[in-house]
Structure 1
Amino acid sequence: MTDTQIGAFLRECVVYEEDSEEGLDLDALYGLYISWCVLGNKIPVPDSAFRTSIRLNGVKHHKRDGNRYYPGLRMVGDAARDYVLNSVPEAYEVSVPPVPLTDDDEALPAAV
């Protein structure tokens, strides 16, 4: 891991909007980094080294509800799309009961 790797990640995957109240928490930022690593065939660093590296790259955090929060940061690019798509919870399987046949319906032929 090098600070250059984290610097490249920050340049490619986030934009800073100074006047924005929105931002990313540490879990989202690290998850975005993991997606970037997977897409680029890079070996990710542990989250503790990641936190240190982003601080060394000038990204400041605040505490919100006891968690690190990076105001003004917004995800962009392919890694953002990958992170968001892979962060959506699995859809619940919906069970639909069979509709009973009426006298007017034709039964389907039995499978052979």
Structure 2
Amino acid sequence: MTPSQISQFLRDCIVNDASDSGINADAFYGLYVSWCSLNRRVPVPDQAFRTALRLAGLRPEKTGKGWTFPSLRMTGPAATDYILNSSAQTPADPT
């Protein structure tokens, strides 16, 4: 993943929002995979993606919910695609 690719992904998909609790690291990668799919790119493995984020200056923090990138929020078509596909894979509550 080149610096220009990570920059484009971040411009297209991420908003800095101090009022937001942040994006879980796994969801961040899922958003990236959705972005790749919509832009006809082959996603890099998760570890390479996390390295690219670190090189771009983004560092996750350990929270009670795992690793989170604080004050970041998803936006754009890839966010919609990721959210719709994530909820479609969640099994329905049997109650």
Answer 1 or 2: which has greater helix percent.
2
Deviation for aligned residue 1:21:
4.5
Higher relative contact order (CA 8 A, sep 6+): 2
CA distance in 2, matches of 1:87, 1:40: 19
Give secondary structure in 1 for the equivalent of 2:40. Answer: coil
Deviation for aligned residue 1:22:
1.2
Unaligned runs of 5+ residues in structure 2 are: none
CA distance in 2, matches of 1:16, 1:69: 13
Using the aligned pairs only, state the percent identity. 50
The within-5 A match list for 1:78-93 is: 78-88=77-87, 89-91=90-92
The within-5 A match list for 1:68-83 is: 68-83=67-82
RMSD across aligned positions (CA): 1.8
Check 1:79–1:21 CA distance in 2 against 1; reply closer, same or farther (3 A cut).
closer
CA distance in 2, matches of 1:43, 1:68: 24
Deviation for aligned residue 1:67:
2.4
List structure 1 segments (4+ residues) > 6 angstroms apart after TM superposition: none
CA distance in 2, matches of 1:21, 1:42: 29
The within-5 A match list for 1:88-103 is: 88=87, 89-91=90-92
Partner of 2:3: 3
